[in-house]
Amino acid sequence: MESSPSVGVYPLHRSKIIHLVRHAQGIHNVAGEKDHSAYSSEEYFDAQVTALGWQQVDALRKHVKSNGLSKRVDLVIVSPLLRTMQTAVGAFGGEEYTNGVNAPPLMVANVGNSDRPSVSSLNCPPFLAVELCRETMGDHPCDRRRSVTEYQALFPSIDFSLIESDEDVLWKPEPRESPEEVAARGVQFINWLWTRKEKEIAVVSHSGFLHGLLSSFGDDCHTDIKKEMSAHFKNCELRSIVIIDRGMLGNDSSTTNYPGKIPQGIDLPSDLADEKNA
């Protein structure tokens, strides 16, 4: 029987499951849909989630809990901007924070004038802020971040240790990052993800970045799959992908493979064994 070239087979331990999420609706999205020039307004600096956006977050939380995904995720990686951290904490964080619990909250109450209660850091995966997965940078103040010091006060249990500068040194008024630059950053991010020990990771990011990332892959797939992968994300949309190490980038060993032939002994093909016993 001829093998099908459209199907690939890879060792399980050389793969990771990544759940990509775009942030919920932000105030800049509402303004930008009415007038695209609003994206260049300082009024929407580090835009927060809208009331409708929080409904989207609640719906996503219900989804990841009902299908068991929230219990499988080993790590939540988040772009260090207000709307992405609000979305990540709301969807994958613990329950409402209770005073007296011996653990700092993931998010304090009323972040971004949201009227939302604080969120516990208990019984949820760790959260890690990573600048590689930020939105396309330049020109749009909504994509410029606050200082890490300010974020740490709002999101006490998010790990900001991988961010090298307290202030935002990556965003510049101009020029805006090109699609090619965003795509290259996406590839760099995927390669970095492979270095992580976690096997199932949620990434909460932005439409432009996620589009650039996924557009860099899929050229070896059917055109419909390529189109499916690179379509722009809706607010609070989640898509699950698998990344595969095809070039020996990592050295993880399998936790499920079994060496066989234990205890040791002669291991002949059945036809040779029949001849030997005849």
Is 177 an annotated catalytic residue? no
What DSSP string describes 222-269?
A: -HHHHHHHHSPPPTT-EEEEEEE--S----PPPSS------S------
Is 164 an annotated catalytic residue? no
Q: For the chain, list the strands marked E by DSSP.
A: 15-22, 75-78, 127-129, 158-159, 200-205, 238-244
- Considering the candidates 135, 140, 198, 211, report the single residue annotated as catalytic: 135
Cα dihedral 24, 128, 106, 27 in deg (nearest 10): -20
- Considering the candidates 19, 23, 140, 211, report the single residue annotated as catalytic: 23
What is d(CA 46, CA 43) in angstroms, rounded to the nearest whole number?
9
Length of the chain: 278
Active site positions, annotated: 23, 135
